[in-house]
Amino acid sequence: RAARFPAVKSFDTFDFTAIPGLNKMLVLELARCEYILRRDNIIALGNSGTGKTHVALALGLAACQKGFTVTFTTAASLVSQLLEARDERRLLKLQRDLASVKLLIIDELGYVPLSSTGAELLFETFSQRYERGSTIVTSNLPFEDWTSVLGSERLTGALLDRLTHHVSILTMNGDSYRLKQSAARRRNP
Ligand code: ADP
Ligand code: MG
């Protein structure tokens, strides 16, 4: 079910030399999807434009191709879906659906600060998936700044505790690929 992916990206079109700090061996190992059988998580951290969404989509595609159920969403969209479901009294159904997917990809945690109810619902999602399925999170913020998005230090600690218990961390800091491409276009229009 790759139908809801915002774009199709694969590792075939990913230039690892553009982001030398990224562990290519680890990424290619993850693309084999064994972490999903172990219910391990992945966190990709780095500034904007460094390929976090590309890598998350490529891992999602690899998982789909291996037959795993995959859901791709952004943190902001997931939280608004959870809030809407709660208002419409169908939260349990959505939570059950979210807990049963083999790979849940939550992109862009960090750009939009969450309400306290939103942060609690997001925490519940992690809690319900803990050791049941794999979650990929991408964020522009280092862990020490996650409290600024989630509001509460206690909640952030508990969320990170679950998320990072079995985790591979991809460090993706570097120059923005978008900026590099537009600079190259200006040189060679
Ligand atoms: P981020 O999510 O970290 O902000 P994206 O994954 O959206 O960055 O990358 C921005 C654009 O640049 C996308 O079109 C993506 O496919 C492309 N891109 C980023 N890094 C690379 C790379 N190393 N090789 C090929 N394309 C890349
Ligand atoms: Mg992104």
* 15 within ligand 1 shell (Cβ under 6 A): yes
**Atom nearest to 9 CA in ligand 1:** 16
Ligand in closest contact with the CA of 74: 2
| pLDDT of the residue at 187 | 86
In a domain, 3, yes or no: no
Q: How many domains is the chain built from?
A: 1
**Atom nearest to 16 CA in ligand 1:** 23
In a domain, 10, yes or no: no
DSSP one-letter code for 18: G
In a domain, 11, yes or no: no
Q: Considering only CA atoms, give the Rg of the chain.
A: 17
* 50 within ligand 1 shell (Cβ under 6 A): yes
Backbone angles phi, psi at 145, to 5 degrees: -100, 0
* 14 within ligand 1 shell (Cβ under 6 A): yes
In a domain, 7, yes or no: no
pLDDT (tens, 9 = 90+) of the chain, 189 residues, equals 445 799 999 999 999 999 999 999 999 999 999 999 999 999 999 999 999 999 999 999 999 999 999 999 999 999 999 999 999 999 999 999 999 999 999 999 999 999 999 999 999 999 999 999 999 999 999 999 999 999 999 999 999 999 999 999 999 999 999 888 888 888 888
Residue 94 is encoded by which pair of tokens?
């959505």
| pLDDT of the residue at 182 | 86
The answer to whether 75 and 109 are in contact (CB under 8 A) is: yes
* 98 within ligand 1 shell (Cβ under 6 A): no
Strands 167-171 and 134-139: unpaired
CATH number at residue 138: 3.40.50.300
Q: What are the Cα distances from residue 105, in Å, to 78, 132, 179?
A: 10, 14, 25
In a domain, 30, yes or no: yes
Helix, strand, coil percent content, the chain, rounded in steps of 5: 50, 15, 35
Q: What is the value of pTM for the model shown? A: 0.96
CA distance 151 to 137: 18
In a domain, 14, yes or no: no
Nearest CA to ligand 1 atom 23: 15
Q: Where in the sequence is the domain holding 61, given as residue range(s)?
A: 22-187
| pLDDT of the residue at 4 | 78
CA distance 28 to 34: 11
Q: Given the structure tokens 């079995």, which residue do they identify?
A: 166
